[in-house]
Amino acid sequence: MDQSSSFEGQLAELLPRLRRFAHVLSHDSADADDLTQATIERALRSRDRWQEGTRLDSWSYRIMRNLWIDTARSRSRKIAREVPEEEGLSIGEDPRDAMDAAVDLKRVMAAMGRLPDDQREVVALILVEGFGYREVSEMLGLPIGTVSSRLVRGRTALLAMVGER
C-alpha cells in the first residue's frame, strides 16, 4: 500500500473520533460536521507537512482546534447581527428523549458545554478521546501541570453538574 492510501486510510479511521471532538468544541451537530469536513480537507491539502511515523491523530486534532479557534473568532465579530444560540436550541428536539441513555448523554453533553473552554478541551481529549497528559500537553502547547490542573477542575465541575437534577 502506498503512502497516499495509507495516509487517507488512517485519516478515514479517525473520522468518528474527530467528529466527536468537533462536537465537544462546537456544541452543535451541524457545526461539528462542518468542522470535521474542514479538518479533513486541510489535512489532505497539508499531507506533505505530516511526517510518516508521527501520530496522525494528534496532528489532526491540532488542525481541528486551530480551525475552531478561527471559526470562533470569526463568529465573535458577527455576534451582534445574529440571533442568540439559545433561541435555536429548542428547534428539532429528538422525540426519543425519554430513553435513559439519551437523557444521560444529553445531561453530560450539556454539562460539558457549561465547562470553560480550556477545561472542556482537556476533559474531551483525555477522558473522551483517551489521549495521555503528555500528548494533550503537546497538542495544546501547554505545560503538563496546566493540563493536569484543568483536567482536575473540569472533571470535578463536570461530576458536580451531572449530579444535579
| pLDDT at residue number 85 | 64
Q: Give me the helix-helix angle, 56-78 and 29-45, nearest 10°.
A: 120
Residue 27 and residue 57 in one domain: yes
Q: Please give the grid coordinates belonging to residue 32.
A: 461539528
Per residue in 126-141, pLDDT tens?
988 889 999 999 999 9
Residues 119 and 62 in one domain: no
CB proximity list for 1: less than 8 A, separation 6 or greater: 9
Q: Which of 92, 113, 148 is the last residue of a domain?
A: 92
CATH classification of the domain holding 36: 1.10.1740.10
Give the global pTM.
Answer: 0.59
Q: Report how many domains make up the chain.
A: 2
Radius of gyration of the chain (CA): 17
Place of cell 501541570: 145
Helix axes 3-26, 56-78, angle to 10 degrees: 40
Range of the domain at 129: 96-165
End position of a domain, from candidates 72, 92, 112: 92
Same structural domain for residues 85 and 5? Answer: yes
Regarding whether 7 and 88 lie in a shared domain, the answer is yes
Among the three residues 53, 71, 92, which one is the final residue of a domain in this structure? Answer: 92
Mean pLDDT in the chain? 83
Q: Which amino acid is at 134?
A: R
Of 23-27, 72-76, 121-125, the poorest mean pLDDT is in: 72-76
pLDDT tens sequence across 54-97? 899 999 999 999 999 988 888 776 665 555 666 656 555 554 54
Looking at the structure, do residues 86 and 105 belong to the same domain, yes or no? no
